[in-house]
Amino acid sequence: MASMVSQIAFLALLVVAGFFIYRRYQFVKSNILLGRPNGPTDRKQERLRNMILIAFGQKKMFDRPFAALLHLVLYAGFIIINIELIEIIVDGVAGTHRAFAGMGAFYIFLINAFEILAALVIVACVIFFTRRNVAKLRRFHLAEMKSWPKTDANLILITEVILMTAFLVMNAADSIVAQRTSGHTPDFIVSQWLQPVCQSLSTSNLEMLSHFTWWLHIVGILAFIVYLSYSKHLHILLAFPTTYFSKLEDPGRINNMTAVTNEVRLMMDPSAQVEPVEIGRFGAKDVSDLTQHQLLSAYSCTECGRCTSECPANQTGKLLSPRKVMMDIRDRMEEIGDAKAKNNGVWEEDGKSLLGNYISEEEVWACTTCNACTNACPININPMEVLVDLRRYLIMEESKSPESITSMFNNMENNGAPWAMSANDRGNWTNE
Amino acid sequence: MAECLAEGKQPEILFWVGCAGSFDDRAKKITKAIAKILNKANVSFAILGSEESCTGDPAKRAGNEFLFQMMAMQNIAVLNGYEVKKIVTGCPHCFNTLKNEYPQLGGNYEVVHHTQLIQSLLNDGRLKIEGGEFKGKKITFHDPCYLGRGNGEYEAPRMLIEKLEAELVEMKRCKKNGLCCGAGGAQMFKEAEKGNKEVNIERTEDALETQPQLIATGCPFCNTMMTDGVKHFEKEHVVAVKDIAELIAEAEDL
């Protein structure tokens, strides 16, 4: 009977978690679809290769080997230990306990492997937590890393430690119970060291402890998956499409706007044949002017701040932080999504925009387009092109630029050079 | 180029001088060095002279896509009119724009940066260089963003420094992790935003940390920024800032 109750409770829990995840999935998806469609995605093999190397293989993480190694432990822990989830779900639904134990030696091997990973995960989390909160790395303490982003980062580390501890305590308790009832059972490689702490408990208390930690583990994991979808940890999943769609051309290339090409062609030759494209707005003022890939990138950002720590403007005290640019895009999408949800899915202008309310012109103009941010991003997010899109809006829609830039444009138009120099003097060096 | 056409000659390569290389007094020295090297290697080349315009790079990166594409299409009309096949540039910004952003607008050329061209001239045996006055000197190389990170060329300039038998000392941030000089993205033409330091000062500190006798680069804008940085630290009498092309031309007494 008790088993029936817990089976039903377990199923209910799965349904509730599934509901929240689905709802959040729909929300994020509709926010990403606010963006303009991406261009055609050719060269599928190269994209696949990038995705496998960069998202799955974490190739770019290894530019900083220490963090990469710890990150790899957490990643492997996340993927591999969650194989255990299959057994947990089977147990939960069928009311069994350790349904796969019948596999014998292989099962013991698996659990031992999980335990080693769990212990490594705890170690990695403790180091990451210390590094983030005690070591005072500059990039973890910039203006955009206060309040929720800071909590978000710590929360996951603490949750991981609790989940892994629950898993190890459960194994320790189970081992002792098995020893006391059947006389022999192999000790698991890590949790055997926890057994002395549990030995003083009675067998029934140990069984309770085992149950409790089992529930803690599964409730924790489900809560974690729901929480993940609300946090920067979405990168675990979204890193894959983000790298798949990332730019394949040389990083120095910035796209040519087809709408502009058409207009310039027609200007130079009124009889020119041009392929019509939807013009909309030149450049980006709000998130809906960015591409879906750019919006997806914002949801994939883990706020690690490698971009910002390599940005020449940020390092010299300017307001610009490429990480903040991506976080601003995400926050603005969430704001629009929330407003739509409250208004039966209809969007009414709120008088705000990404440029102005989130990202200032001062930030936009500080970029040197040096590509350090994109190069540093472990999943190929490109904040630089967002900044160029914002400049495009300022220039082409609002004719707003720093005075010296305006005179540079004038010089280019009139003299074909950014300075007020005559084209006739271009060859002077040959006689000097 | 017009003269070549009149004489019915098609030069091997077009030398795209660029605005800095045409108008900036310091950068003109780099331009001359490149021309001397090309002459020394018997490369037939032409320039566009008054028919050359800015590639549009600073306009594009400042967000003025209209102006960029107008400049680009005018340049493409000129280049295609002369049936140009191969271009060498004295500036990584021109290099990047011609190579990466012109093809889609109808301008398809083989574009190389001058360090790449010099490297291939050496490899083909058309040019020979010896260390000369730079033998044993400590030289650090500042990677221009649009040559290095933007287009993945880190080796050509370094190989040339090695050919000079100089001692190449790397800055703590180099190659793909190299720090920008602060001039890109049209920053060259405006005041920097409020901060606690100029980017070129930060970068010059990197360079001076290696205690070089010379800072080499491959971009007229980087050259200006690093020269100003060296002056800021009052080291201009100890540390020179030169383009790789100048080093080669000087070593060969051209």
Say what the pLDDT of residue A111 is: 86
Q: What is the CATH number of the domain that holds B97?
A: 3.40.50.1860
CB atoms within 10 A of CB B167: 16
Task: Specify the higher pLDDT residue, B12 or A202.
Answer: B12
Task: Specify the higher pLDDT residue, A217 or A334.
Answer: A334
Instruction: Tell me the C-alpha distance between A73 and A164, whole Å.
Output: 13
Same domain for B34 and B62, yes or no, is yes
Complex ipTM value: 0.95
Say what the pLDDT of residue A222 is: 87
Which has the minimum average pLDDT: A212-226, A356-370, A399-413?
A212-226
Same domain for B29 and B67, yes or no, is yes
Q: Give mean pLDDT, residues B221-237.
A: 97
What residues of chain B, 23 to 62, have a C-beta less than 8 Å from chain A? 23, 28, 31-32, 35, 47-54, 56, 58-62
Same domain for B135 and B100, yes or no, is no
Q: Give the residue from A124, A113, A129 showing the smallest Cα distance to A191.
A: A113
Residues 6+ apart with CB under 8 A from A65: none
Nearest to B196 among A63, A316, A394 (CB): A316
Query: Both tokens of residue B137?
Result: 């000197």
Q: How is chain A split into domains, by residue range?
A: 2-32+64-244, 262-414
The Cα of A282 is separated from the nearest Cα of chain B by a number of Å equal to: 9
Q: How many domains does chain B have?
A: 2
- List pLDDT tens digits, range A34-59: 999 987 788 999 999 999 999 999 99
Q: Is the pLDDT reported for residue A230 higher than 80?
A: yes
The Cα of B18 is separated from the nearest Cα of chain A by a number of Å equal to: 9
User: Quick check: A362 and B50 CB within 8 A?
Assistant: no
> Which class in CATH covers the domain with range A262-414?
mainly alpha
Q: Is the pLDDT reported for residue A203 higher than 90?
A: no
What average pLDDT is seen over chain B? Answer: 95
Same domain for B134 and B238, yes or no, is yes
pTM of the entire structure?
A: 0.93
CB atoms within 10 A of CB A245: 21
Length of chain B: 254
- Give the end of a domain, one of B67, B87, B120: B120
- Give the end of a domain, one of B99, B120, B141: B120
Say what the pLDDT of residue A88 is: 82
Same domain for B107 and B193, yes or no, is no
What average pLDDT is seen over chain A? Answer: 91
Map residue A55 onto helix, strand or coil: helix
Same domain for B163 and B188, yes or no, is yes
Calculate the dihedral angle through the C-alpha atoms of A260, A262, A268, A269, rounding to the nearest 10 degrees: -170
- Mutation pick from A408, A411, A421 vs chain B, by most beta carbons of B within 10 Å, is A408
User: Quick check: A368 and B180 CB within 8 A?
Assistant: yes
Say what the pLDDT of residue A276 is: 76
Domain enclosing residue B14, as ranges: 2-120
Same domain for B115 and B218, yes or no, is no
- Give the end of a domain, one of B59, B86, B120: B120
Say what the pLDDT of residue A2 is: 58
- List pLDDT tens digits, range B189-213: 999 999 999 999 999 999 999 999 9
Same domain for B78 and B106, yes or no, is yes
What residues of chain B, 186 to 245, have a C-beta less than 8 Å from chain A? 186-199, 201-203
Q: Is the pLDDT reported for residue A183 higher than 90?
A: no
User: Quick check: A316 and B199 CB within 8 A?
Assistant: yes
- List pLDDT tens digits, range A82-120: 777 888 888 888 888 778 877 778 888 888 889 999 999
Name chain B contacts of A423, Cβ cutoff 8 Å.
Answer: 50-53
Q: Is the pLDDT reported for residue A1 higher than 50?
A: no
Instruction: Tell me the C-alpha distance between A131 and A142, whole Å.
Output: 15
Say what the pLDDT of residue A414 is: 94
Say what the pLDDT of residue A225 is: 86
Same domain for B154 and B116, yes or no, is no
Say what the pLDDT of residue A184 is: 67
Q: Is the pLDDT reported for residue B71 higher than 70?
A: yes
- List pLDDT tens digits, range A9-23: 888 988 999 999 999
Q: Give mean pLDDT, residues A328-338.
A: 97
Q: Give mean pLDDT, residues B94-108.
A: 97
Same domain for B174 and B226, yes or no, is yes
Say what the pLDDT of residue A272 is: 81
Q: Give mean pLDDT, residues A319-344.
A: 96
Say what the pLDDT of residue B175 is: 96
Same domain for B241 and B134, yes or no, is yes
CB atoms within 10 A of CB A197: 10
Same domain for B49 and B103, yes or no, is yes
* pLDDT band, very low/low/confident/very high, at A6 (cuts 50, 70, 90): confident
Q: What is the CATH number of the domain that holds B189?
A: 3.40.50
* pLDDT band, very low/low/confident/very high, at A186 (cuts 50, 70, 90): low
Length of chain A: 432
Calculate the dihedral angle through the C-alpha atoms of B199, B203, B205, B209, rounding to the nearest 10 degrees: 170
